[in-house]
Amino acid sequence: MRIREPGDEVIAAFWRSLYSQIERGTGWVLVIAGALLVLAYGGYEFVRNPGMSVILKVGIASAAVGFVVLFVSVLRERLKVARVDRYSKEIER
């Protein structure tokens, strides 16, 4: 017995649907908001608590710097692609 694979049209229609777009967007917003809250609290504790262990301080600082580096990297890539991609408005999403 084999499972029938959905066709390309079915998959494309699923990704174009409003519900799928809202669901994915909401998921990313919640993940990013949670990460920012954890980093903000860690930064607050980093400054407020002088007795915090060095390992914890290094972990908080490296997570914050890594988040900023990744954000800047994605932002630069998006801006570069948006300037040179002649067909971005022609592609069906």
Residue with tokens 């029938």: 4
Tell me: the pLDDT tens digits for 73-82?
988 888 887 7
pLDDT mean over 19-45: 83
13's CB contacts (< 8 A; 6+ apart) are none
Tell me: the pLDDT tens digits for 51-60?
878 888 888 7
What's 38-51 look like in SS3?
HHHHHHHHHHHCCC
DSSP secondary structure letter of residue 6: P
What Cα–Cα distance (Å) separates residue 47 from each residue in 3, 40, 41, 42, 55?
Answer: 56, 11, 10, 9, 15
Neighbours of 34 (CB within 10 A): 10
For 14, the token pair is 């699923």
